[in-house]
C-alpha cells in the first residue's frame, strides 16, 4: 500500500527507517557476519543464473545452426564451471560460519594455520 486513504499513513512509510535492536522474541538482534552476507549474495547469484543456464541449454538443444549450438554449449559449460566455483566458495565460507570442514573435493583450498615466527 503506497497511498494514504482517509488520512491513514501507509505501513511502508510509517516504518521507513525504523530499526530494532531486539527481535520479536526479545533477544538482541545480531548483524550477520561478512561471511554470512557473502554466502547470501553468492546463493542469490547462483539462483538468479540457474534460470539463464537452463534457458541457454534449451536454446542450444533447439537451434539448428551447429556453430550457434557449439557456442551455446560452450557458454553452458562455462556457466556450469562458474557455478561449481561459486558453490565451492559458499561451502568454504560456510565452514568459517559453522566451524565445520568443507568437503574434501572443494575447489577453494583450506587455509593452513600459520606458525608463529
Q: Which of the pair, 87 or 110, is modelled with greater confidence?
A: 87
Half-sphere exposure of 102 (CA within 13 A, CB side): 18
Say if 50 falls within a structural domain: yes
Domain membership of residue 106 (yes or no) is yes
Specify if 47 maps to a domain.
Answer: yes
| CB-count burial class (<10 Å; 0-12, 13-18, 19+) for 39 | buried
Q: How many domains does the chain have?
A: 1
pLDDT of residue 43: 92
The pTM assigned to this predicted structure is 0.56
Q: Give per-residue pLDDT as tens, 30-54.
A: 777 888 889 999 999 999 888 889 9
Answer whether residue 26 is part of any domain.
no
- Report yes or no: 88 and 94 within 8 Å, Cβ to Cβ: no
Asked if the structure places residue 74 within a domain, the reply is yes
Residue 64 in this model has a pLDDT that exceeds 50: yes
Q: Is residue 19 part of a domain?
A: no
Cα–chain center distance at 42: 3
Q: Residue 73: which domain range?
A: 33-110
**Within a domain: residue 28?**
no
Q: Is residue 63 part of a domain?
A: yes
Indicate if the pLDDT at residue 9 is higher than 50.
no
Amino acid at each position: 500500500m503506497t497511498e494514504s486513504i482517509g488520512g491513514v499513513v501507509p505501513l511502508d512509510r510509517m516504518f521507513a527507517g525504523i530499526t530494532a535492536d531486539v527481535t520479536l522474541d526479545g533477544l538482541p538482534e545480531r548483524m550477520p557476519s561478512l561471511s554470512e552476507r557473502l554466502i547470501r549474495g553468492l546463493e542469490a547469484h547462483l539462483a538468479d543464473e540457474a534460470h539463464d543456464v537452463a534457458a541457454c541449454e534449451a536454446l542450444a538443444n533447439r537451434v539448428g545452426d551447429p556453430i550457434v549450438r557449439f557456442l551455446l554449449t560452450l557458454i553452458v559449460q562455462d556457466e556450469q564451471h562458474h557455478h561449481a566455483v561459486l558453490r565451492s566458495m559458499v561451502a568454504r565460507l560456510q565452514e568459517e560460519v559453522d566451524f565445520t570442514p568443507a568437503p574434501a573435493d572443494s575447489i577453494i583450498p583450506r587455509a593452513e594455520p600459520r606458525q608463529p615466527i
